[in-house]
Amino acid sequence: MDYVLFPGRHHLLTRFQAEHLTKLGGTVVWAVTSANHENTRRNPVPYHRREAAIERFSVQAGLRSVVVPVFDTTPTPHFASVTLKNIAVATGLTLTPANTVVACSTPAVAALYSSLGFEIDTVEAAYDPPPSRPWDVLLRLAAGDSSWRELAHPATIDVYERYRLDETVRTVVNDPIVGDEGGLTATRDYRTYAEAFAEAAQRKWALVKEHVRPGRIVDIGCGAGALLEMADQEPALRESDLIGVEVAMHLYDECVHKKSQGVFQNENVYFYRRNVLGGAVFDPRSVDTTLTFALTHEIWSYGSQAASIRAFVQAIYDHTAPGGVWINSDVCGPDNKDRTVRLRLEESTRALFDRFATDYTFPFSYTTDGADTVILRLADAMDFLTRKDYLDNWESETQEQFCGLEFADWKQLLTDAGFEIDPASHAYRNTWIIDNRIAPVASLTTPDGTPLDWPDTHVLFMARRPLNT
């Protein structure tokens, strides 16, 4: 055969692959799938580093190679034909069953090419016992097993060492929070999420801009960059560095797209795709202002609750410069969150409560008192009431706990880390949500029936690192 089509993600190359491909002969066409993905468990290494390793591998193994990026698509039974068309467009090569053998050890993918008439070489699967597959070798690396070096090809080892990709792989694969596809949850509608943040960006910026210290300004969990767009328009910040950190691939891609389209006037705007809990993102004492909006409840919810929040607070403190400030705005639990209350609900809302109690990731106890009333903790009541209208993102919202921490808990966490809390910090009640979403369908009393005011729903704090630390 003239060509060997070798589809795969190719994050790591092995010594076995070099021996096997040499035996097959012909020009190897590397179809590098998920080429537009990086920094996720399924795709930890960016395409350009994979391509560099493949080219180096080919030279050392004496192979003639062509490397083609194949962007990720939704699952389709036409994956094989789409890949072949992609190769034709990128290289001008027409691969057919008459001139090409497909090297593929994944049965489902091999079957797609076989159905088109291609001969299949099953690579590792053809041997007994089969050698380690590349992904298994990569997992050895992630687990700290040094034997990965014995199985990986020297080209991969060289590229990994020069670009510190071994550290990247360990961090990403072992990340306790981020999913396989690079988001906190696979069920979130990121379009809706980004639109909501964009609509609220001007209001949020007006709330905090007077507390921002110029210099190095970092927005962690920046979404699609809407808040940094507001900062970009501030004359007082024109010489500041504006840095966005976002873990969700879809939102990070939108930030990069905005920058390439000239949305930002400040030339010093940068975006990083990172999870701050996976390790330090910034050097110690190097950030003047850190912004976090609607983020800390996600760290609590998708991590290990109190332990993850403590680690996050410490990470922020460590990278904050003396005199620098952390500005956090998020939902929070009500004061005295563990007190028992009676929650009376309108009929359809009462039915939704039953669904919430079943779907909610954080189980809670409650009793009923008639068809329309439940008795439960105040925090659990408010978690339901502040979540019940997120029907578009129900599956992701029911994985999140809004009321894990009350304002007193936050003050303790911050002071324990070394922060000083600005007197302007406070908890507050979102009156629009109360007046439009909650009060029309619910009422709150003590167990003996004494009416209660609706509690605080949000927190805003400005925490500063003392100048002498």
The helix (run of H) or strand (run of E) holding residue 114 is: helix 107-114
Q: Which residue has the higher pLDDT, 281 or 143?
A: 143
What are the structure tokens assigned to 91, written together? 């290289």
Q: Which residue has the higher pLDDT, 10 or 249?
A: 10
Q: What is the mean pLDDT of residues 350-361?
A: 96
What are the structure tokens assigned to 432, written together? 């629009």
Beta partners for residue 208, in sequence order: none
Q: What is the mean pLDDT of residues 320-347?
A: 97
Residue 325 has what pLDDT?
98
The helix (run of H) or strand (run of E) holding residue 4 is: strand 3-8
Q: Which residue has the higher pLDDT, 173 or 34?
A: 34
Instruction: Report pLDDT digits (tens) over 363-398.
Output: 999 999 989 999 999 999 999 999 999 988 898 899
The answer to whether residues 353 and 359 touch, using CB atoms and an 8 Å cutoff, is: no
Q: Distance between CA atoms of 386 and 378, rounded to whole angstroms?
A: 12
The answer to whether residues 54 and 91 touch, using CB atoms and an 8 Å cutoff, is: no
pLDDT at 84 over 60: yes
Instruction: Report pLDDT digits (tens) over 187-200.
Output: 444 455 556 666 78
Question: Omega of the bond prior to 129 within 30 degrees of 0, cis?
Answer: yes
Instruction: Report pLDDT digits (tens) over 206-242.
Output: 999 999 999 999 999 999 999 999 999 999 999 999 9
Residue 278 has what pLDDT?
64
Cβ density class 36-63: b for 16+ within 10 Å, e for less: ebbbbbbbbbbbebbbbbbebbbeebeb
Q: What is the mean pLDDT of residues 351-357?
A: 96
Residue 184 has what pLDDT?
45
Residue 370 has what pLDDT?
87
Is 0.75 topped by the overall pTM? no
Residue 190 has what pLDDT?
47
Q: Tell me the average pLDDT of the chain.
A: 92
Instruction: Report pLDDT digits (tens) over 127-159.
Output: 999 999 999 999 999 999 999 999 999 999 999
Cα distances from 87 to residues 26, 84, 90, 378, in angstroms, run 16, 5, 5, 59
Give the model's confidence band at 176: pLDDT under 50 very low, under 70 low, under 90 confident, else very high.
Answer: low
The listed range with the strongest mean pLDDT (105-114, 188-197, 270-279) is 105-114
Residue ranges in 7-46 assigned as alpha helix (H) = 15-24
With pLDDT > 90 as the criterion, what percentage of the chain qualifies? 81
* Residue given tokens 């949500």 in the structure block: 433
Q: Distance between CA atoms of 61 and 51, rounded to whole angstroms?
A: 15
Q: What are phi and psi of 452, to 5 degrees?
A: -120, 145
- Going through 268-319 in order, the beta strands assigned E by DSSP cover 269-272, 287-293
Residue 168 has what pLDDT?
85
- Going through 316-400 in order, the beta strands assigned E by DSSP cover 320-331, 340-345, 367-368, 373-377
Residue 181 has what pLDDT?
44
The answer to whether residues 139 and 147 touch, using CB atoms and an 8 Å cutoff, is: no
Instruction: Report pLDDT digits (tens) over 400-412.
Output: 999 999 999 999 9
Counting other chains too, the contacts that 76-79 makes at CB distance below 8 Å and 24 or more residues apart are 77/112, 79/109, 79/112
What are the structure tokens assigned to 142, written together? 């992630």
Q: Return the ∠ at Cα 383 (arms to 378 and 384), rounded to 5°.
A: 100
Q: What is the mean pLDDT of residues 97-119?
A: 96
Instruction: Report pLDDT digits (tens) over 156-175.
Output: 999 999 999 998 888 778 76
